[in-house]
Amino acid sequence: MAPGIYFFPVLAIALMLLVSSTSASDAGLTAGLFGYVDPNGPRKWGSLSPKFAECSKGKHQAPVDIVKDQVVHNKSLKPLIRDYTPVNATLVNNGFNIEIRFDEHVGVLVANGKNFTLKRAHWHTPSEHRIHGKQFPAELHLVHQAVDGNFSVVSVLYKYGAPDSFLTKIKANLDELAKEQCAGHEESHIPLGITDTKHMRRKTRKYYRYVGSLTTPPCTENILWNILGKERSISKEQVRALKAPLISSCKDNSRPIQPLNGRKIELYDELGTNN
C-alpha cells in the first residue's frame, strides 16, 4: 500500500491492472488459482504460476510482525493526511475477500509528500499483520495509488468489542452477498450508492511504516505500508458476515507472517513515545 515501481514502466502498467487491492482482485487471477489451505495455500503460491514467483522468491514481503521494542522511532515522518469524500461505491465478493470499489474520485492519502488516490478497501479475517505476535480478528486495507503507479496502503487492525459502525450500515449488503456466493472467476457486485467514508479518515496520531508487498499473489513488492497504531472494534457477528460469502478455502484469508530480512519498521508517534 512505494519506491521502485516508478522505474519499471511496464511493471507499473501491469500493476495498475493487477492491483485492485492488496489481494489483486482485478488481476484476472481468481480465487480458484490460489487459496489459504493446501494444495494451493500460501506455502505453494510461488509455484502455482510464473506470475506468482515473487511470493516465494521476494525478500521484502508482507505481512510482518511488529515488535514494538525493535521499531525505529523516526521523528522525520509526517502525519498521514487523508482527505476523503462521500462517493458512489460497490461492494464486491471476489471469492477470497470482500472489498469496496469506489466508482468515483473519493480523495487522497498524503504520505512521504506524495498524493495517493484511494481506490478500494477490503478486509482480511483474521488480521495479516500482528503486534508482538498477537493476531487480531480482522484487518482493513485501504489501497491508494499515485499517478506514477506507486501504491500505498493504510492498514487498520480490529479487536473484538462494539460493532464497527460502517459494517453495521452495510450488514444487509453483506448478507445479500452471502446468498450469492461466487464461484471460480465470477464476482458478485452490489451497489452501495453514495458511501460516506468519514470512518476511514479519522485522525492518526501513531502509525508503523515499512516497505513490503501485496499480501496475495502476485505478491508484488515496493508497496508502502502504514499500519495504524489505534485499533478499532468489531463484533464477532460482523467477522462472521465478512467470512460468509467467501469460498471455503478462503474463509480465513490471512497470509502467514513474512521475514523482515533486514528491513526496519519505522514509527510515527505524535506524542513522542514508543508505547
pLDDT at residue 32, as a whole number: 55
Question: Measured between alpha carbons, how far is 203 from 178 in angstroms, rounded to an integer?
Answer: 33
Q: Which residue has the cell 480490529?
A: 158
Question: Which pLDDT score is estimated for 7?
Answer: 33
**pLDDT for the residue numbered 49:** 93
CB atoms within 10 A of CB 59: 13
Distance from C-alpha of 170 to C-alpha of 176, rounded to nearest angstrom: 10
Distance CA 151, CA 214 (A): 10
Written as nine digits, the cell of 7 is 522505474
Q: What is the pTM of this model?
A: 0.87
Helix (H) or strand (E) holding 267: strand 266-269
Closest among 94, 92, 115 to 105, alpha carbons compared: 115
Res 181: pLDDT: 64
Per-residue pLDDT of the chain (275 residues; tens, 9 = 90+): 434 333 333 333 333 334 434 444 333 344 458 999 999 999 999 999 999 999 999 999 999 999 989 999 999 999 999 989 999 999 999 999 999 999 889 999 999 889 999 999 999 999 999 999 999 999 999 999 999 988 999 999 999 999 999 999 999 999 999 987 654 457 899 999 999 877 777 678 899 999 999 999 999 999 999 999 999 999 999 999 999 999 999 999 999 999 999 999 999 998 875 44
Would you state the pLDDT for residue 273? 57
Task: Map out the domains of the chain with their CATH numbers.
Answer: 5-269 (3.10.200.10)
